[in-house]
Amino acid sequence: MTAAIGLDIGSSAVRAAQIRQGRRGSTLERIGQVQLPAGAVRDGEIVHPDVVVAALKQLWRTFKLQSRKVAVGMANQQVIVRRLDLPYMSEAELRGSLALQVDGLIPIPVDNAVLDFCVLGELTKPDGTRQIRILLVAAQRSMVDELLTVVQRAKLQPVSIDLDAFAALRSLAPPGVLDDTTAEMLVDVGGTVTDLIVHRNGAPHFVRTVLFGGESITAGLMSELDIDYDEAERLKARAMVGPASTIDERQAAEVVEAQSQRLVDEIRGSIDYCTAQRDIPPIERILLTGGSSRLPQLPEQLAEGLNLEIATGSPLAAFDQTSAAAPDDELALAAPFMAVAVGLALGVES
């Protein structure tokens, strides 16, 4: 069986996960990443295509990935995810008339949008009218075309495109992880964007992309401490590995905490919105992933600010076995970075 490869083009790196499905379950065969220079991808959008193309070629060359067919992810402000209630129809009928049904309901002309949806359920209005509730995904067609062009220039063949949020959910919260009476929020903290996904038993009910990530903290350090990018990155990295031991590190830790509070406030606002929706059960837990989720004070800030259980998610739990992907200690370190790439690969139909 051909291996499936998920490709995550993030703000700080391009990452790939190669997975093979077999009779004994799924096997993680290879993972890899190549760092991107600052600014090559900004807020989830490719700014310097040539740089990203070169990084993708290096990724395949370095890690000897065995297929050029890839599932590609996307996450930026040109993608809209919205809950909609529409007149009841079958899923096939809705797919055939989706553009007509959502015309005027989204801030993108449907002719300029790539549309998809997943069904959340059915409901009946007080007058007895049946409706279908969906989670609509609408992306600017020009952005999607630019993304696919970059992938193709790297001699890769896109076979599917998916939201980073859905991919992360697929790898970290498979159906059956929770019962139907509770909900969980997955928080995937990346370089410049953070995805918030509320799900019930693995089914998404709310998705939001926030312009906040590790680069936001770096920018805050540069501004508050009047230092350059490299020094800000050094101090941020130092904050991730232990208590501050110098005046500079203590000052940096205070800035990191203040910047992280912005994310706590964004999450609280999203939880308040979900609480007001009758069909979403109470959110019982926050599941953290993403490279910037490793900030040591973030779980404590979230627990204190939200009064919820905070846990760390690992996409490695999705596998029955791994095969030469990397030593176990390296896999554990890589896990927070790989949720999207793993989820994209898991979503490829065999």
Residue scoring higher pLDDT (129 or 294):
129
Residue scoring higher pLDDT (63 or 3):
63
Confidence of residue 70 (pLDDT cuts 50, 70, 90): very high
| Residue 34 host element (H or E) | strand 25-35
> How far does CA 244 lie from the centroid of its chain?
30
Rounded to the nearest 5 percent, the helix, strand and coil shares of the chain are 40, 30, 30
Distance CA 169, CA 149 (A): 26
Which residue, chain included where needed, has tokens 């019930």? 200
Q: What is the pTM (predicted TM-score) of this model? A: 0.91
Q: What is the pLDDT of residue 177?
A: 57
Distance CA 144, CA 140 (A): 7
Confidence of residue 325 (pLDDT cuts 50, 70, 90): low
Q: Round the average pLDDT of the chain to a whole number and report it.
A: 89
Tokens of 305: 């600010």
Q: What is the pLDDT of residue 244?
A: 66
State the sign of the Cα–Cα–Cα–Cα dihedral 195, 32, 173, 9: positive
AA letter at 280: I
Q: What is the pLDDT of residue 179?
A: 63
Tell me what the mean pLDDT of segment 278-295 comes to: 88
Tell me what the mean pLDDT of segment 248-256 comes to: 86
Confidence of residue 134 (pLDDT cuts 50, 70, 90): very high
Q: What is the pLDDT of residue 326?
A: 67
Q: Does residue 242 have a pLDDT over 70?
A: no
In the chain, which residue ranges form alpha helices assigned H by DSSP?
A: 49-63, 91-102, 141-153, 164-172, 214-225, 229-241, 247-275, 298-306, 328-334, 339-346
Domains, in order of start, for the chain: 79-140 (3.30.1490.300), 178-313 (3.30.420.40)
**pLDDT by residue (tens digit) across 10-53?**
999 999 999 988 777 788 899 999 999 988 999 899 999 999 99
Look at residues 119, 136, 126, 11 and name the one whose alpha carbon lies nearest to residue 74.
11
